[in-house]
Amino acid sequence: MRVLLVEDDAMLGESVRRGLRQLGHAVDWVEDGKAVEHALTGGPYEVVLLDLGLPVKSGMEVLRDLRRRGDRVPVLIRTRSPTAWRASTPARTTTS
């Protein structure tokens, strides 16, 4: 499986990349949201492992851009911050 790993933490990124490669996957690793654009020009990925807390361009911006251009690659999101997801998504209201 071809995997795009988007992770700015060097220790975590190296560990994930090593583990996935040991399982037989091809892994390309980029460390900021802007680098994702360049990586995606290299061909299709079967999955993207995406950190939300990225420098240069946030993980949510990366995901929005992917979907806006019609790319339906599966994306697994991870973050260290329990509030990062909530802070990056629009508030939802419900009516009774």
| pLDDT, tens digit (0-9, with 9 covering 90-100), for 62-94 | 999 999 999 999 999 988 765 555 555 554 444
pTM of the entire structure? 0.82
Please say whether the beta carbons of 32 and 75 come within 8 A: no
Residue 91, CA atoms < 13 Å, CB-side half-sphere: 1
| pLDDT, tens digit (0-9, with 9 covering 90-100), for 28-53 | 999 999 999 899 888 799 999 999 98
CA distance 36 to 56: 11
Name, in order, each residue with C-beta under 8 angstroms of 2's C-beta and a sequence gap of 6 or more: 25, 26, 28, 43, 44, 45, 46
CA distance 30 to 8: 8
| pLDDT, tens digit (0-9, with 9 covering 90-100), for 11-34 | 999 999 999 999 999 999 999 999
